[in-house]
Amino acid sequence: MGILENVNEYILNIPIVGKIVTLIVIIFAVNELIDKYTMKKVNVLKSILGIIPKRIQKNKANTIKKYYATLESKEFIDWQNIVLKKIYNEYPFTKAFETEYPVVCFKSANKASYPFDDIYDQNELVTYVEDYKINSSIQKEYKYLVGDNIMRPTLKGFMLDRIELDNNGDMLRFKAKTGTYEQNVYSSHILEYELFQTYNKGLNNINQMSADTLIGHMQLRKAIHHNLSQKDVLTTGTTRSSLLGVQIFVVFRNHEDNQYKVLVIKRSVKVASKPGYYQFIPSGGFEIFENSDDDEILRNNFSVRKVLFRELIEEAFGEEEYEHNEKGVPVENILNHKSIKSLIKMINKEGDEKGVFFEFLGTVVDLVGLRNELSFILRIDDTSFSENTFKPNHESKDVQIIGLDRLSKFIKSDKLNQGSAGLFHLVSDHYLYKEITD
């Protein structure tokens, strides 16, 4: 047996390499036969390699579809609620539209109105961004699932540092630190995927398990809880980067029928969080508008009123340039927007002429992803606001204007975004809402 034959036999005896070599030889043989008998040049290898990416994409799409279908299933939701009630047993679930949701609400301890300077201090922002790497297997798996839907992973945002509570457990103010959206996704959003993985383990008798035993099956959540009380887990950003959210319950009097309406969307299937769920708008992350490393610019963008108006422009009026800011316009442009200038003018009116009321409600903590959403109510009695043209952005298919009298029938409670459920819970107990519904 010659040297070449020995080498050939050695290669073919390697299981994987042998199969690959054999497949390539067969493909080239098929190519030769096609060329000889049909006189056509057909590259079978190229055709096969062209099929592989399509197959991979199809498998990925099926995996994603199965993941979200599981999250929406009654079986998973019931299981998840049992687990989270055990882990966070010091805090009852929040009720909205006759349904319980795994969120905890901390209402505002004091009346805090626009421009909301009493609930935070811009100068206290931590501007340093910690180093972060995606290196665990679960993070890589989650990136495979949702990575394509994350448009701007390095965009800076303002993460929870601490929520300060009074002796009654009501919210006084908050502090924040700077991070990136990617850090938030792979340390907070990912907690839902970890619940999904734990669910798929098929654990028996979870009703008999202790909270510590359950957390032991979820390494990311276990690391967050290490040496912390339940209160500290919910009100601090220790051991994670948790992007602060903002959400407004916009209720306005309609110029046609003089009835109060609210803005509702159904989230797109292409977003990374809660696709297909109903949600009150505007709602979004507390992110920087001018993407910069400069401390002064960061603090200037760390503005509650600016982010609230930006979300209103982006999600209610559908103006994409206020979402991406690809032209690099200054953050002050938000306050100079025509509709916002008109709204601010109405907010600043006094006495009997005042037709707009803008107040802070508190914060809503989603127990699934352990994220805080600063929550507000904007009541607009002036009917001119209803004459605006409302348009959706990429996060939804359309914007629905729903009358308060039929809101509960419209919302499918099992498909309501959890943050929105907490928002409505806070709203329903607030005087600005009660004045127009009682």
The CA dihedral of 223, 227, 232, 234, to the nearest 10 degrees, is 30
Residue 155 has pLDDT above 60, yes or no: yes
Mean pLDDT over residues 269-289, rounded? 80
Cα→Cα distances 310→91, 177, 283, 340, Å: 33, 20, 10, 9
Mean pLDDT over residues 145-166, rounded? 92
The encoded tokens of residue 107 equal: 């209402």
Q: Which residues does 20 contact at the CB level (< 8 Å), separation at least 6?
A: none
239/253 Cα distance (integer angstroms): 44
Q: How many residues does the chain have?
A: 438
The CA dihedral of 409, 310, 95, 273, to the nearest 10 degrees, is 90
Q: Which one has a higher pLDDT value, 55 or 325?
A: 325
Question: What pLDDT was estimated at residue 302?
Answer: 97
H or E element at residue 174:
strand 171-180
What percent of the chain clears pLDDT 70, i.e. is strictly above it?
A: 84
The pTM for the full model equals: 0.85
Q: Is the dihedral of CA 377, 380, 381, 387 positive or negative?
A: negative
Q: Which one has a higher pLDDT value, 226 or 147?
A: 226
Residue 391 pLDDT grade (very low, low, confident, very high; cuts 50, 70, 90)? confident
Question: What pLDDT was estimated at residue 108?
Answer: 98
State pLDDT tens for residues 8-66: 555 445 555 565 667 666 766 766 666 666 555 556 555 655 565 666 667 788 888 89
CB 375 within 8 A of CB 361: yes
Residue 432 pLDDT grade (very low, low, confident, very high; cuts 50, 70, 90)? very high
CA angle in degrees (0–180, nearest 5) for 214-160-379:
110
β-pairing, 283-285 vs 278-280, is: unpaired
Neighbours of 429 (CB within 10 A): 13
Residue 257 has pLDDT above 90, yes or no: yes
H or E element at residue 103:
strand 103-107
Q: Which among 251, 308, 254 has a CA at the least distance from the CA of 116? A: 308
CB burial class (10 A; 0-12, 13-18, 19+) of residue 368? Answer: buried
Residue 175 has pLDDT above 90, yes or no: yes
Q: Which among 118, 95, 69 has a CA at the least distance from the CA of 408? A: 95
Instruction: Among 255-269, 317-331, 416-430, name the one with the lowest average pLDDT.
Output: 317-331
CB 184 within 8 A of CB 273: no
Mean pLDDT over residues 151-161, rounded? 93
State pLDDT tens for residues 104-119: 999 999 999 999 999 9
Mean pLDDT over residues 200-227, rounded? 94
The CA dihedral of 46, 49, 51, 53, to the nearest 10 degrees, is -140
Mean pLDDT over residues 186-197, rounded? 96
